[in-house]
């Protein structure tokens, strides 16, 4: 009951920020569980996708704090817009990684697996070491034919659409609230004159 009451008090923008926060937190938790418990070693592109969700986690948390503690609609609108950009980048990274997995295009050279790790303290020894990261082309896990990068693509694209819609809605509300009450009631622009 308390959770339902809390959610009913949130604006659509705050709900979008909360959904982004929870989704990114769940995806990061899942990725770390697959690594720590499942023994799946992430490739370079997997780690890049995690960075996008860590960024989204910070942006959405900041937006929720600004909205709830400081009652700043402008801050919440800016945060949800920034979250939309972060989710667009995340979807782009996941799209690229999915294409590499299906051999639609080559991955970056660092993603080939078995490369050298550079250690500035001992460059000679580092040249003989191999990287632990697998190739970005290797799919270590699939469910219903979709890899983790594919699920990240679907989730990030959905979160992008949600946060973009919230940012557009919040911007419209902010513009509407800045118009004089008489113009809002008549539906006219503030500078329009009667003919």
What is the rounded average pLDDT of the residues 16-40? Answer: 90
* DSSP letters spanning the chain: -HHHHHHHHS-HHHHHHHHHHHHHHHHHHHHHHHHHTT-PPP-HHHHHHHHHHHHHHHHHHHHHHHHHHS--HHHHHHHHHHHHHHHHHHHHHHHHHHHHHTTSS---GGGGSS-BPP-TT-HHHHHT-B-SPPPTT----EETTEEHHHHHHHHHHHHHHHHHHHHHHHHHHHHHHHS-HHHHHHT--TT----
State the average pLDDT over residues 128-154. Answer: 73
pLDDT at 181: 57
Of residues 94 and 147, more confidence is placed in: 94
0.85 exceeded by pTM = no
Return the higher-pLDDT residue of 176 and 113: 176
pLDDT, position 110: 77
**pLDDT score of 150:** 83
Average per-residue pLDDT for the chain: 80
The number of C-alpha atoms within 13 Å of 137 and in the hemisphere containing its C-beta is 12
Least confident of 26-30, 120-124, 149-153, 162-166: 120-124
C-beta pairs of 140-147 under 8 Å, 24+ apart in sequence: 140/40, 140/41, 141/34, 141/38, 141/40, 147/98, 147/101
**For residue 99, what pLDDT is reported?**
86
Look at the chain and count its residues.
195
Residue in the block written with tokens 């938790």: 29
- Enumerate the domain spans of the chain: 12-182
Lookup: tokens for 175: 């513009």
List the beta bridge partners of residue 143.
Answer: 146
d(CA 109, CA 176): 50
User: Do the beta carbons of residue 101 and residue 137 sit within 8 Å?
Assistant: yes
The mean pLDDT of 160-189, rounded to a whole number, is: 75
pLDDT at 38: 81
CA distance 134 to 27: 20
Whether the per-residue pLDDT at 161 is higher than 70: the answer is yes
Task: Output the pLDDT for position 26.
Answer: 95
pLDDT score at 144: 87
State how far the Cα of 95 lies from the Cα of 54, in Å rounded to an integer: 18
The token pair at 37 is 């418990």
* pLDDT at residue number 88: 96
**What mean pLDDT is predicted for residues 149-160?**
91
Residue 195: which pLDDT band, with cuts at 50, 70 and 90? very low
For residue range 87-127, list pLDDT tens digits in order.
999 999 999 989 888 888 887 777 765 444 445 555 455 44
Q: How far apart are CA 61 and CA 45, in angstroms?
A: 25
Which of the two residues, 149 and 139, has the higher pLDDT score?
A: 149
Q: What is the fold, at CATH topology level, of the domain defined by 12-182?
A: Bromodomain-like (1.20.1550)
């Amino acid at each position: 009951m308390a959770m339902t009451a809390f959610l009913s008090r949130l604006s659509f923008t705050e709900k979008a920020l909360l959904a982004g926060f929870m989704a990114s937190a769940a995806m990061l938790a899942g990725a770390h569980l697959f690594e720590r418990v499942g023994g799946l070693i992430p490739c370079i592109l997997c780690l890049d996708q995690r960075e996008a969700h860590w960024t989204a986690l910070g942006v959405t948390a900041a937006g929720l704090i600004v909205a709830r503690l400081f009652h700043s609609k402008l801050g919440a609108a800016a945060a949800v817009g920034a979250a939309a950009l972060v989710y667009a980048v995340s979807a782009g990274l996941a799209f690229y990684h999915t294409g590499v997995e299906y051999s639609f295009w080559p991955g970056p050279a660092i993603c080939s697996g078995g490369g050298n790790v550079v250690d500035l303290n001992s460059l000679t020894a580092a040249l003989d070491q191999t990287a632990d990261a697998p190739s970005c082309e290797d799919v270590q896990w699939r469910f219903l034919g979709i890899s983790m990068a594919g699920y990240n693509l679907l989730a990030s694209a959905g979160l992008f659409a949600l946060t973009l819609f919230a940012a557009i809605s919040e911007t419209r509300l902010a513009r509407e609230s800045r118009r004089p009450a008489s113009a809002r009631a008549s539906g006219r622009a503030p500078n329009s004159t009667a003919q």
